Amino acid sequence: MAIRDIITYPHPVLRQVAESVTNLDGKIQALIDDMAETMYSAPGVGLAANQVGVPVQVIVMDASEKDRPRELIAVINPLIVACEGKIVNEEGCLSLIDFRADIGRYKRVTVKGLDRNGTPIELDKEGLPAVVLQHEIDHLNGILLIDRVSRLKRELYIRRLKKVLMKQASRTR
């Protein structure tokens, strides 16, 4: 297992639609292990494969409470098949430097996919786990958190990010 670099906006891989996984080989198993280690070290509650530069349909998540044992979930080729209710939560993203926003999502979702062994699974989640699933599945579809905010908020963030990136670039020269 290894901690991988988390790709940050505006890297183009974050806008790619991830490819379906058709071969559950050792590379996918290693990717899942690395993604889990990367997510926990970040720290985060979810991670999509394209966030570590691999545009395939794999997500990992762990929305367990801090005082509880870890509950890692890996889903390959996840698909939301049912949803209900509405909820607004403040969300952040490991691929968006210093950005948080209140985002409307479904309160409950049912997701079908495969577990890491290729066994079909169906997850029925509510609240934070449902939000995490939706957020990570958005990533697999090339959709970022900033796509779910107003145009003004998105433009302000992009301007602020450009300044930060320019400062970083000038320091490395």
Around Cβ 124, how many Cβ atoms within 10 Å? 12
Cα–Cα distance, 24 to 29 (Å, whole number): 7
**19, 71, 126, 136: which is the annotated catalytic residue?**
136
Assess contact for 98 and 143: CB atoms under 8 A.
no
Asked if 136 is an active-site residue, the reply is yes
Contacts 24+ apart (CB under 8 A), 156-162: 157/96, 157/99, 160/98, 161/9, 161/10, 161/97
Assess contact for 12 and 6: CB atoms under 8 A.
no
By annotation, the residues acting in catalysis are 136
